[in-house]
């Protein structure tokens, strides 16, 4: 997980050889044996042998679903810093930095079962290594374990096709969102993140420990979409891809890993990040020529919360205790370089937190078919939101459909016939809502407040040449017409069934299965 400033300096960062398969383990308070038969689609031996959490019993189907869609990840030919398990890295941490102070660690705490036994579960702790760890561009021999198991001599398997094979754990969460929706989050761990070449500043964004992920949405056990994430999100994500548009192998999603910084992208090639100081170009470099990391059979499964109704995160036990750790998986960064106040980072930056974060949000983009005529929206409120609204005597829900289009010049005429399938304009692609190139307005519709029942609202299409639906939001209104609260917007991606990708559309038919839970998401 790299901050968005960061890029790979060398085309040939030392190619290495890979690792033998590690034994399969089960965490999260569950211990089970993997044996998934892809031909039958059934889990043969996902028997829960022990269940420290008691309420996890019987989740074989969720574990099978995680394995069914375990991603195929393709590393760059220039990769030098390979993935590992968390267990591989824990013995190398000897002290922690806590609010600027150095605290030596008891090795007995640095295990999968005991990591969360640190004070306040490690809140504000930066697990730290003693060796120098700022390669410019090469790592110190004493810290070569940061190259990962596959980066050691003889550590990489030969795939017989000129490409190595990586065999490492990947950490998977299942998140039951209700109404048949289960989100699958796959997290990768690397001992080290090699940053980005940033002109006069050298390589910046190096850090010990690196977490990256992709998110899959399934509905009734069938893949619906994939969110590819790179680094800290924002402009460094590919957004939500329909399953139809995702590259697949063996019915599973393929991801391309950026060299050094490990962001996951849906295609090979150069992916530009936000420029540093609006001037220095930063690029994630992916290719289809390096080692292959097929994660099937290597997913360590975790239940995220007890139920979608109360959204109480699971307290992991047994060998899953480490997932409760609230600190950082590496050293603190530096702030003493001459360009720190200008850029906000030195060559070394802070390590990231672990993977157990907030997974209750909807996908980056809510997908919906484009339609002619008016837009129709169906949506649900969570029990908590419905209770909040009832207590405040909410009578109606108002929906605002946010529209946008390129700002017209004075000599341009309105075209009332640009249809739902019009091409997405360059101004819409490059401009946000506050861009001078883009006009933004809303259309509205209202329905009676129906508690947790399904709400449905129809609103006018976005009218005008090159107009397109961008997002929608809700307002909670009293009987006298006053609206007392409005939610954030949910972005919408419109599609036509027989076409690839997304289109600009004046109207959509949206069935939103993600409950509006905490009024802000």
Cis peptide before 365 (omega within 30 of 0): no
Phi and psi at residue 181, to the nearest 5°: -90, 125
Which pLDDT band holds residue 435 (cuts at 50, 70, 90)?
low
| Confidence check: pLDDT of 18 > 90 | no
Q: What secondary structure, in 3-state letters, does 321-372 show?
A: HHHHCCCECCCCCCCCCCCHHHHCCCCECCCCECCCCCCCCCCCCEEEEECC
**What per-residue confidence (pLDDT) applies to 310?**
83
Q: What is the pLDDT of residue 200?
A: 85
**What is the reported pLDDT for 434?**
53
The share of the chain scoring above pLDDT 70, in percent, equals 82
What is the pLDDT, as a whole number, of residue 278? 76
Report how far residue 99's alpha carbon sits from residue 443's, in angstroms, rounded to the nearest whole number: 49
Residue 520 confidence (pLDDT): 52
Mean pLDDT of 277-287: 88
Residue 58: the pLDDT is: 66
**Does an H or E element contain 86, and which?**
helix 86-89
Q: Which range has the worst mean pLDDT, 43-52, 84-93, 399-408? A: 43-52
Task: Give the confidence band of 433 by pLDDT, cuts at 50, 70, 90.
Answer: low
Query: In this model, does residue 487 exceed pLDDT 80?
Result: yes
- pLDDT tens, residue by residue, 308-326: 888 889 999 999 999 999 9
Q: What is the mean pLDDT of residues 94-105?
A: 96
Q: Read off the pLDDT of each residue in 111-125 and give the average, rounded to a whole number.
A: 96
Q: Are 259 and 79 in contact (CB under 8 A)?
A: yes
> How far is residue 95 from each of residues 102, 193, 403, 404, 465, measured CA to CA in Å?
7, 20, 53, 52, 61
Q: What is the pLDDT of residue 214?
A: 96
Is the separation of the CB atoms in 196 and 3 below 8 Å?
Answer: no
What percentage of the chain has pLDDT greater than the value 90? 71
Angle among Cα 328, 333, 337 to the nearest 5 degrees reads 170
Would you call 494 helix, strand, or coil by DSSP? strand
**CA dist list (Å): 413 to 407, 424, 465, 504:** 12, 18, 8, 19
Task: Please give the pLDDT value at position 309.
Answer: 84
End-to-end alpha-carbon separation of the chain, Å? 23
Q: What is the pLDDT of residue 408?
A: 74
- pLDDT for residue 277: 80
pLDDT of residue 412: 53
CB of 25 within 8 A of CB of 299? no
| Section 104-124 average pLDDT | 95
Confidence of residue 237 (pLDDT cuts 50, 70, 90): low
More confident residue, 426 or 306: 306
* Size of the chain, expressed as the number of residues it contains: 521
Where would I find the H helices in 348-436?
383-391, 426-430
Task: Report yes or no: 181 and 215 within 8 Å, Cβ to Cβ.
Answer: no
Question: What is residue 57's predicted lDDT score, i.e. its pLDDT?
Answer: 55
Report the distance separating Cα 403 and Cα 507, nearest Å. 9
The pTM of this model reads 0.85
What is the rounded distance in angstroms from the CA atom of residue 250 to the CA atom of residue 498? 23
Band (386; pLDDT cuts 50, 70, 90): very high
Q: Which two tokens stand for residue 28?
A: 């999260």
pLDDT of residue 483: 97
Q: Is the pLDDT of residue 21 over 70?
A: no
Q: How confident is the model at residue 274 (pLDDT cuts 50, 70, 90)?
A: confident
Q: Is 226 left (phi over 0), alpha (psi -120 to 50) or beta?
A: beta
pLDDT: is 235 or 335 the higher one?
A: 335
pLDDT given at position 512: 98
Residue in 134, 38, 50 with CA at minimum distance from that of residue 320: 50
Task: Tell me the average pLDDT across 94-118.
Answer: 96
pLDDT at 231 (0 to 100): 66
**Mean pLDDT across the chain:** 85
Highest mean pLDDT among 237-251, 425-439, 445-459: 445-459
């Amino acid at each position: 997980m790299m901050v968005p400033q960061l890029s790979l300096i060398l085309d040939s960062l030392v190619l290495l050889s890979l690792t033998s398969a590690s034994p399969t383990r089960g965490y999260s308070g569950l211990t089970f044996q993997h044996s998934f038969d892809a031909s039958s689609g059934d889990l043969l031996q996902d028997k829960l042998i022990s269940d420290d959490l008691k309420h996890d019993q019987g989740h074989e189907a969720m574990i099978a679903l995680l394995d069914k869609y375990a991603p195929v990840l393709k590393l760059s030919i220039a990769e030098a810093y390979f993935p590992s398990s968390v267990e591989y890295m824990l013995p190398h941490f000897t002290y922690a930095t806590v609010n600027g102070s150095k605290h030596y660690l008891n090795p007995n705490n640095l295990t999968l079962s005991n990591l969360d036994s640190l004070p306040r579960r490690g809140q504000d702790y930066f697990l730290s290594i003693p060796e120098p760890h700022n390669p410019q561009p090469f790592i110190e021999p004493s810290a070569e374990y940061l190259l990962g198991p596959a980066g050691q001599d003889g550590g990489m398997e030969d795939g017989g096709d000129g490409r190595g094979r990586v065999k490492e754990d990947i950490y998977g969460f299942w998140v039951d969102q209700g109404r048949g929706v289960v989100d699958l989050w796959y997290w990768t761990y690397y001992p080290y993140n090699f940053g980005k070449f940033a002109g006069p500043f050298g390589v910046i964004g190096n850090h010990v420990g690196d977490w990256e992920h992709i998110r899959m949405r399934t509905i009734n056990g069938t893949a619906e979409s994939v969110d590819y994430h790179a680094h800290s999100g924002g402009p460094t994500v590919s957004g939500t891809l329909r399953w139809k548009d995702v590259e697949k192998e063996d019915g599973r999603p393929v991801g391309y890993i950026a060299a050094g910084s490990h962001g996951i992208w849906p295609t090979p090639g150069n992916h530009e990040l936000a420029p540093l100081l609006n001037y220095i170009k930063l690029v994630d470099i992916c290719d289809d020529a390096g080692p292959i990391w097929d994660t099937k059979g290597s997913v360590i499964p975790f239940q995220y919360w007890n139920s979608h109704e109360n959204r109480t995160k699971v307290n992991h036990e047994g060998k899953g205790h480490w997932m409760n750790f609230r600190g950082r998986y590496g050293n603190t960064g530096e702030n003493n370089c001459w360009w720190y106040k200008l850029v906000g980072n030195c060559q070394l930056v802070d390590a990231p937190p672990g993977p157990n974060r907030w997974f209750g949000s909807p996908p980056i983009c809510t997908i919906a078919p484009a339609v002619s005529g008016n837009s129709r929206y169906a949506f649900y409120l969570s029990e908590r939101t419905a209770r909040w609204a009832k207590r405040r005597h909410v009578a109606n829900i108002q929906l605002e459909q946010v529209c946008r289009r390129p700002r017209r010049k004075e000599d341009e005429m309105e075209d009332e016939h640009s249809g739902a399938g019009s091409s997405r304009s360059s101004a819409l692609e490059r401009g946000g809502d506050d861009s001078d190139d883009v006009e933004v307005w809303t259309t509205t519709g209202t329905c009676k407040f129906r508690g947790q029942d399904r709400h449905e609202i129809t609103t006018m299409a976005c009218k005008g040449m090159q107009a397109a639906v961008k997002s929608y939001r809700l307002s909670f209104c009293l009987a006298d017409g006053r609206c007392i609260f409005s939610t954030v917007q949910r972005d919408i991606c419109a599609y036509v069934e027989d076409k690839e990708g997304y289109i600009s559309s004046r109207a959509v038919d949206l069935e939103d299965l993600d409950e509006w839970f905490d009024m802000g998401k």
